[in-house]
Amino acid sequence: MTDTPLKLFNSLTRELEEFIPVHPGEARVYSCGPTVYNYPHIGNMRAYVFADILGRTLSWKGYDLTHIINITDVGHLTDDGDAGEDKMEKMAAQKAQSIWDIAQHYTEAYWADVKALNIREPAKWSVATDYIDEMIDFAKGIADKHCYELDSGLYFDVSTVADYGRLARAVTEEGEGRIDTVEGKRNAADFAIWRKTPAGETRQMEWDSPWGKGAPGWHLECSVMGEKLLGFPFDIHTGGIDHREIHHPNEIAQNQAFCGCGGLDEATHSGAKIWMHNNFLVERSGKMSKSSGEFLRLQLLVDKGYHPLAYRMMCLQAHYRSELEFSWEGLGAALTRLKRIVMAVERLKDAASGAPDHPKFAPLREKFAAAMADDLNTPIALVALEEALAVKKVDAGVKRAVIEEMDAVLGLGLFDLSRGDLRLRPRDATITEEEIEAELIRRKEARVAKDFTTSDAIRESLGEKGVEVMDGDPLGWDWKL
Ligand code: AMP
Ligand code: ZN
């Protein structure tokens, strides 16, 4: 089932391309990681669910995967250009805490979300501040030919590399509009690779460099860690679609400078062969934000009684390149779908896993494989999994093997889940499960005795405590908080 050639959409060429590894048998992937100045919102986590699906697919295809995700603990400004403050410095000042404590706290919070969403750990979490020396060396290597110094720092001159901004396409209109002008820049799109600490100021995070005390520009870290840990060119670079506009074009320009490479008609000159971007999770009101409206953290979903994997399911139901609109109803529907699947899987749990290659499953395994090989089409792959679960009159062990095989790619962890696990208690619930069950027994007795007044009263009083009684629920759920 893994024979279909894997095709992935390369943002650099805007085309579907067959995955042909740089190093035979291997897959080397770099994903831009979180800036750990705050909790990730669930939109951020969509980027890592996507990278996880990509990694799982490459493993399933038999490639020896090396996946790097970085942790940005320096350099990312409140603006994607060169104006604004360092997000980390700003949060540390707001909270009157050290940057290091802030970074540790939010890195751990991010890792908790990673775990809850069944995102596999990468080979390495590379932390930006562990690579300051390497960043300075990298910058030294390209400074003479590609950079110039201003009072505020060392800037990269984008006119010194061929095809600057090709990844963004619309860089002249959309991208540059978002870049703040810094006095003395040669081109609007030039960007800082080293930001000097202004005279008379001290920053919590600053290092000595040939260009004075300061901190690296945000784009530098990913070029450096990608090169150090995976080597140029590596296979795939991922990130959210916003990175297609500024962060990745700038990374690419640095990589071209570092390699002394020519233009981008040859994709490997960019430092990677394929650049992949997940589209955004949006709210009905527009862009997802950590500061305005309801801060959609994974923990909020859990507090409201939604299992984290319902969110993973929600992500899988959309293609990663499509925008996905978040709604509580949508999340509820994803949870119901997951429950149905988990209930069907529960019936297979006692069977010993057999061999999946049985003629009855061949077309569905084929459908699944074709979907995943078609630029990670998880919505169709999910349907194939459900259809496989519905196949009748087959050995349970064979079915189990088929589902395990598919789930290894989709990462729902179906055999580790039970119906009960999916029922989370909303944080503001005041009634316990035992109390609910006891009330429902009383209600059943009243109904048997045809005492509908009592039975209705019980239903109503449960309703006041936030419990919905569900008579005849197809999933066998009697109540919901
Ligand atoms: P940040 O912590 O801001 O650097 O973002 C972490 C990752 O989340 C990056 O790959 C972003 O491109 C991605 N991202 C940010 N917002 C969203 C969103 N609403 N939906 C999907 N991905 C996002
Ligand atoms: Zn990055």
Q: What is the best residue among 242, 248, 311 to mutate for testing ligand 1's pocket, by most ligand atoms within 8 Å of CB? A: 242
Tell whether the model's pLDDT for residue 172 goes beyond 80.
Answer: no
Which pLDDT belongs to residue 177? 46
Q: Which residues are annotated as a binding site for Zn(2+)?
A: 32, 222, 247, 251
Helix or strand or coil: residue 26?
A: strand
- From the CB of 43, is ligand 1 less than 6 Å away? yes
More confident residue, 403 or 430: 403
List the single range of 67-71, 314-318, 382-386, 465-469 with lowest mean pLDDT.
465-469
- Res 456: pLDDT: 87
Average pLDDT of every residue of the chain: 92
Statement: the pTM of the whole predicted model exceeds 0.85? yes
Query: Predicted confidence band at 93 (pLDDT cuts at 50, 70, 90)?
Result: confident
| Residue 173 confidence (pLDDT) | 44
Pick 267 or 95 by higher pLDDT: 267
If one residue of 11, 35, 41, 44 were mutated to test the ligand 1 pocket, choosing by the most ligand atoms within 8 A of its CB, it would be 44
* Any atom of ligand 1 within 6 Å of the Cβ of 240: yes
Which residues are annotated binding-site positions for ATP?
Answer: 290
Ligand 2 centroid from CA 32, angstroms: 4
- Identify the pLDDT of residue 175: 47
For atom 5 of ligand 1, the residue with the nearest CA is 34
Residue of 91 and 54 predicted with greater confidence: 54
Distance 238 CA to ligand 2 centre (A): 9
Q: Give me the pLDDT at residue 180, please.
A: 60
Give the model's pLDDT for residue 178. 52
Q: Which ligand is nearest to the CA of 87?
A: 1
| Range ranked top by mean pLDDT from 164-173, 241-250, 420-429, 430-439 | 241-250
pLDDT tens, 206-261? Answer: 999 999 999 999 899 999 999 999 999 999 999 999 999 999 999 999 999 999 99
Residue 224, both tokens: 């450096």
Kindly state if the Cβ of 315 falls inside 6 Å of ligand 1: no
**Phi/psi at 168 (5° precision):** -80, -20
Which one is predicted more confidently, 337 or 175?
337
**Ligand 1 neighbourhood includes 32 CB (under 6 angstroms):** yes
* Residue nearest to ligand 1 atom 11, measured at CA: 240
How many percent of the chain have pLDDT more than 90? 75
Indicate whether 187 pLDDT > 60.
yes
Binding site as annotated, residues? 32, 222, 247, 251, 290
State if residue 281 touches ligand 1 by the CB under 6 angstroms criterion: yes
* Ligand 1, atom 1: closest residue by C-alpha: 34
More confident residue, 476 or 92: 92
pLDDT number for residue 1: 63
Ligand 2 geometric centre to CA of 372 (Å): 26
Q: Report, as an integer, the average pLDDT of 92-104.
A: 88
Render pLDDT for 11-44 as a digit per residue (tens, 0 to 9).
Answer: 999 999 999 999 999 999 999 999 999 999 999 9
Q: Would you place residue 434 in the very low, low, confident or very high pLDDT band (cuts 50, 70, 90)?
A: confident
**Domains of the chain in sequence order:** 7-278 (3.40.50.620), 290-421 (1.10.730.10), 425-479 (no CATH)
When pLDDT is cut at 50, 70 and 90, the band that residue 478 belongs to is confident
- The finding on whether 252 has its CB within 6 A of some atom of ligand 1 is no
In percent, the amount of the chain with pLDDT more than 70 equals 96
pLDDT at 174 over 50: no
